[in-house]
Structure 1
Amino acid sequence: MAPHPVSPSPSAHGARSPAAALFDAIGADYETAFADLPEQLAALDWLIAELPPGSKVLDIGSGTGRPTAERLTAAGHRVTGIDVSATMVELARARVPGAVFEQVDARDLVDDDAAWDAVCAFFPFLQLPRADLDHQLERLGARLVPGGLLAFATVPAEADGVEIDWLGHRARVTSHAGEELLVRLRAAGLEILRQRVSVFHPRHPAAGPEEQLFVHARKSAAG
């Protein structure tokens, strides 16, 4: 069965948003820096164990396709990845031909209410303005079928447009502290099944240790 298609809004946010420019510049270095991220691999193991074969999975901020789309596709799931970066989409299509990848900003997705058995969102919203970040957190529950699963990760910090050096590039980041993120996910209709904060050391000479929050969640079966 083919992966689920996505429909971008006609009023797109633009292919050369700051996030697109950042990840076009980083390219395959991102995969190298964050290869074998233990909590991400654990989240994928959880999804593979819980999802029935052929499930429709949306991977927001799909990057190079590895490891998320690659592992889920190998497990028999229909994966659609979206990313704002043309470079990332090109790399992912070459690495994981069994999945579908589109250059789409998550803010421009339409017609995806209750469309997905699972959503993966590993660090995709950190470059969004605060209002857009909050709206995307609200949308995570709506995108899932009743009983659908979410694997989510971000950097938990109270930050609003803070400029940092990251993987040798300047980046502007926005997030919430950990407990506030959990409050917002619960408000989106999600039951938190597991939460873990850990520290990861990216494999990159310009990167320091990074605190990360990983969440496994499920949408209520009642919708």
Structure 2
Amino acid sequence: MSHQATESLYDEIFLDYENNYHNNAGLRAFVREAASKLPPHAQVLDVGCGTGRPIAETLCAAELDVTGIDLSTEMVELCRKRFPTGTFIKADMTKYQPEPQQKFDAIFAVLSLFHVSHRECYSMLFKFSEWLRKDGFLFITTIYSQDLVERGARPDSSGIIDLADVQFMSRNVPLTALSGEKWSNYLTAAGFVDMQATRYDFQPADPTLKVAHHHFITVKKGDSHPLMGPYPYPDKVRGPYSINKAAYKSFLGKLNDAESKALADVLKKNTNVLKIDPTTSNESFLFGPKEKLSYPDNHFDCVVVAWALDGLDNLEEPLREIARVTNSASPNAKIVIIQAAPDNDLLKQVNVVCPGVAEKANNKAPMHHGLILHRAAEALKTNGFANIELTRIADSACRFAERDLAARSQSAANLFAKMYYADEEDVQSMQAVLAPGMDSILKETPNDIGTQAVMLVATPSRAA
């Protein structure tokens, strides 16, 4: 079901939905207990606020600062009338962005993550972590995938139901659900800690509707930055490799302008910029770990390193060189590093299938750009660029224009296998195992493979 179809569904059934589900004693108790954990007047986001009962109702009664978002126009209007102290916004959770610098003390996602795909659900957990203050809470109400078998759905071998038709409100509706183990894994990946989960069986008001096996999950945002995830870090990551320059240039030609716009905004005040990416040298990378940049000290007011650090075994010396040629005395001095986000669709697929068929020992481990960003930040701090900010480039994507889905999927698989595994003799095997994953993504986003990115901006640590 598309997000537009979900909006139409709830615009149609919102009162019937409320009549059946608002009188949920277990959910009311969960929300009251959650509110008791928060400071007075805490800022709270209710994702998929529905008609406001009982979540926004309980939170507003506790005099918390409530923001609610929902796809349904009818539900948002009802919330605005019922709870004038809250702020209610018609918004798609996958596109929503809080106000700049806005952070929440808690986020509630109560029976709302059903209506996004598995891919989007995973991504939303990282976004929730980004939107929370340190030690903020995430409160989730969901139904585990195994509890939907009685409604006609079947989890896959990893415990996932991905937008399969499920009986809901006396109709078949595509829903997504995870096993309890998957929830634990995904929440840990996004930097959450201290997971607690309880179950409550609820009978809707209409006795012909099935009992809902609700699971109430509470987690806390940990110390780790979500954009340096997923966590925990693997014991071994892929070592140095060469990117195929021709494939990489083809990749750049298919990228949309999300990354270039984000970078242009960051560089507005810079006048002398060095840009490093895998195309800037006759070799795969501009420099090796023991090589020097051919520029004098303090030559640039900014250095941009885009998608180049994952090919290096040692980051300390290259980043020392980058810091050396960056004039930290410039008022606009900065070092910018761009790598993949933890929910990058392309990298997730590559890591799932390619290490298992790789022949070279170096290629048998996954790539982990979050770990690269973590190591880069530590290296930059030791070289005088200690102020680190990370921002998401959420809409970056690589577009494939072939008319046929199979042709688009194979084209994407061919490109990415050549780009990342040029040193493998049997690139065709890489292409073959990548194609089904590309097909899965392109069924959901018909022409785009997500290349979601993180931009790390490091500025000098100046004396007060």
The aligned length equals 209
- 1:198 Cα shift? 2.7
Contact 1:192 1:218 in 2 (8 A): yes
1:89 Cα offset (Å): 0.7
For 1:54 and 1:214, locate their aligned partners in 2 and report how far apart those are by CA, in whole Å: 23
**What is the match of residue 118 of structure 2?**
130
After TM superposition, list the pairs within 5 Å mapping 1:20-39 onto structure 2.
20-39=7-26
Secondary structure of the residue aligned to 2:188 is helix
Distance in 2 separating the partners of 1:111 and 1:202:
33
Opposite residue 123 of structure 1, the aligned amino acid is L
Shift of 1:197: 2.4
Distance 1:91 1:218 in 2: 31
8 A contact 1:118–1:150 mirrored in 2? yes
The amino acid that maps onto 1:99 is: G
Counterpart secondary structure, 1:47? helix
Q: Which amino acid aligns with 2:85?
A: G
Q: Which amino acid in structure 1 is aligned with residue 110 of structure 2?
A: F
Distance apart, 1:204 and its partner CA: 2.3
- 40-49 vs 23-32, which moves further: 40-49
Per mean C-alpha deviation after superposition, the further-off stretch among 73-82 and 42-51 is: 42-51
Which has the greater radius of gyration?
A: 2
Q: Which amino acid aligns with 1:118?
A: A
The one-letter amino acid of 1:64's match is T
> What amino acid does structure 1 have at the position aligned with 2:142?
T
- What displacement does 1:155 show? 1.2
Aligned residue among 78, 96, 115 for 2:65? 78
Q: Do the aligned partners of 1:146 and 1:221 also contact (CA within 8 Å) in 2? A: yes
- State the secondary structure of the residue aligned to 2:165: strand
Structure with the larger strand share: 1
Q: Quote the residue 2:217 is aligned against.
A: 215
- Compute the displacement of 1:79 (Å): 0.2
- Structure 1 stretches of 4+ with a deviation exceeding 4 A read 111-114
Determine the structure 2 residue equivalent to 1:8. none
Q: Residue 48 of structure 1: which of 35, 47, 52 is its match?
A: 35
Deviation at 1:179, TM superposition (A): 1.2
Secondary structure of the residue aligned to 2:215 is strand
Q: Distance in 2 between matches of 1:31 and 1:98?
A: 21
Structure 1's 111 and 35: CA in aligned 2 closer, same or farther, altered over 3 A?
closer
* CA gap 1:64/1:156 in 2 versus in 1, 3 angstroms: same
Tell me the distance in 1 between the aligned counterparts of 2:126 and 2:17: 27
Tell me which residue corresponds to 1:110. 97
Q: Note if contact 1:18-1:127 (Cα within 8 Å) is conserved in structure 2.
A: no
Scaled by the length of structure 1, what TM-score is found? 0.86
1:184 equivalent in structure 2: 186
Where 1:110 maps in the other structure, the secondary structure is coil
Unaligned 5+ runs, structure 2: 146-159, 226-464
Structure 1 distance, partners of 2:86, 2:116, is 26
1:192 and 1:215 in contact (8 A); partners too: no
What whole-Å deviation, never above 9, does each CA across 1:171-217 have from its counterpart, x for those lacking one? 11111111111211122111234211232111124420122221111
Per the alignment, residue 169 of structure 1 pairs with 171
For the 8 Å contact 1:196–1:215, the answer to whether it is kept is: yes
Instruction: Answer 1 or 2: which has greater helix percent.
Output: 2
- In the alignment, which residue of structure 2 is the partner of 1:145? 133
Any idea what SS the aligned residue of 1:27 has? helix
Please give the secondary structure, in 2, of the residue aligned with 1:218.
Answer: strand
CA distance in 2, matches of 1:222, 1:184: 14
Determine helix, strand or coil for the equivalent of 1:52: coil
Structure-2 change in CA distance of 1:86 and 1:206 (3 Å): farther
In the superposition, the TM-score normalised over structure 2's length comes to 0.43
Percent of aligned positions that are identical = 29
Conserved? CA contact 1:200–1:211, under 8 Å: yes
Secondary structure of the 2:57 match is helix
Aligned counterparts of 1:154 and 1:40: Cα–Cα separation in 2? 11
1:6 equivalent in structure 2: none
2:83 is aligned with 1:96: yes
Amino acid at match of 1:79: V
- Contact in 2 for aligned 1:191/1:220 (Cα 8 Å): yes
Summarize the Cα distance change of 1:86–1:75 in structure 2 as closer, same or farther, 3 Å threshold.
same
Q: Is the 8 A contact 2:98 2:131 kept in 1?
A: no
| Aligned partner letter, 1:191 | V
